[in-house]
Structure 1
Amino acid sequence: MSFQAYLDAIEVKTGKTPRELVTLAEERGYNDPAVKAGVIVDWLKEDFDLGRGHAMALVHVIKNGPTISTKHVGTDGVHRDETDTLWLDGKATKPA
């Protein structure tokens, strides 16, 4: 599953775009470098019933923004992403 597919699945499960979830995390101070990933994972599990894998994808975005490694960009594998910048504004508005 691509990184973007994880974010799209999070939106389907929670009804919130990744950007909305990032904003909620920022309001809680979870973008602070001192906040451990486990705290964020616990919040996402409790409030949105997200599993660890999906939560960790969102932790990356909360802590590092929408840019990801180019390791899988343009490859043929199942983890392939089209670009190194994730779309956070929802599946319905994602450019083709």
Structure 2
Amino acid sequence: MKEFAVYNLLRLLMLVGWVCAVLAVWFLVDDAVSDRDFLLALILAFVASGVTSWFFLRGPREALAIRLGQRADSASRKYEEMRKAPGEE
């Protein structure tokens, strides 16, 4: 499923980009990053990634939703056809 792979790859790249950006700013402000600072930077990157992906990944997200809807409709149709098949009662 191409749409699924594209959307999740873009989300992952966005997260990695935000982690790098937050850590770069942290290094500019302070010379060292402790484990606690890294965890806080990771949390900030998750939040920033989620917010920015909501706006910038609208197209891939909608394409994924359409594709999933089509697959669900197809599965429902096949299930109904199997259920109504003659001789299988």
**TM-score, reference length from structure 2:** 0.27
Task: Say which one has the larger Rg.
Answer: 2
Which structure shows the higher helix fraction? 2
